[in-house]
């Protein structure tokens, strides 16, 4: 079944929103018996390939309000998925790391997400990896545009 959207009168932002809602629906179903929320998944995924990341860098990179991030990290810490340690050189910074439990869960959720994405893209003219490259280019261009126009 084709998506009934008028291609001439649609913005990429709207299409991204539709796709994200579809992704959220999947993750919400997948997480229904888990103690993790969909809002915490990007934080876990950000940590997956790093020994630790400073909390301020997570907030910056994921465009998450620091207060909201602090609450999510506290919940993840209470559930045993992450650890938060004060930086010895700058006590105002926290180093966030995955625990073994967090690494196991995050690897599983990442693999499930990739499996879903590959499945939904198998009959398209572009690969998942090509789409990722395009999305990253779009995101970088969007940031540059905003910096130029908004001065951020």
CATH topology of domain 38-114: Arc Repressor Mutant, subunit A (1.10.10)
Stated as kind and residue range, the H or E segment containing 103 is helix 100-121
Where are the chain's structural domains? 38-114, 122-152
Please determine, for residue 1, whether its predicted confidence score (pLDDT) is greater than 60: no
Enter the tokens of residue 68.
């909201």
Q: Give residue 91's pLDDT band: very low, low, confident or very high (50, 70, 90).
A: confident
Mean pLDDT of 103-129: 93
State residue 109 phi and psi, 5-degree precision.
-70, -35
Contact between 48 and 98 (Cβ < 8 Å) = yes
pTM of model > 0.85: no
16/25 Cα distance (integer angstroms): 14
> 12-30 vs 100-121: helix axis angle to the nearest 10?
130
Measure CA 72 to chain center: 13
41/34 Cα distance (integer angstroms): 12
31/34 Cα distance (integer angstroms): 5
Q: Which pLDDT belongs to residue 2? A: 62
Q: Give residue 101's pLDDT band: very low, low, confident or very high (50, 70, 90).
A: very high
Strands (DSSP E) found in 16-75: 53-54
Enter the tokens of residue 41.
């998944």
pLDDT tens digits, residue range 124-140?
999 999 999 999 999 89
- Which residues on adjacent β-strands are paired with residue 24? none
DSSP 8-state symbol, 8:
G
């Amino acid at each position: 079944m084709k998506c009934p959207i008028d291609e001439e009168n649609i913005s990429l932002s709207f299409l991204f929103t539709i796709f994200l809602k579809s992704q959220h629906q999947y993750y919400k179903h997948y997480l229904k018996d888990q103690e993790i929320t969909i809002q915490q998944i990007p934080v876990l995924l950000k940590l997956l390939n790093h020994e630790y990341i400073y909390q301020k860098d997570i907030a910056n990179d994921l465009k998450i309000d620091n207060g909201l991030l602090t609450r999510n990290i506290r919940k993840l810490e209470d559930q045993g998925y992450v650890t938060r340690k004060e930086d010895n050189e700058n006590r105002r910074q926290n180093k966030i790391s995955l625990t073994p439990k967090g690494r196991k869960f995050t690897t599983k959720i990442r693999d499930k997400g990739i499996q879903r994405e590959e499945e939904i893209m198998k009959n398209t003219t572009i690969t998942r990896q090509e789409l990722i490259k395009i999305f990253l280019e779009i995101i970088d261009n969007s940031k540059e545009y905003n910096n130029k126009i908004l001065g951020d």
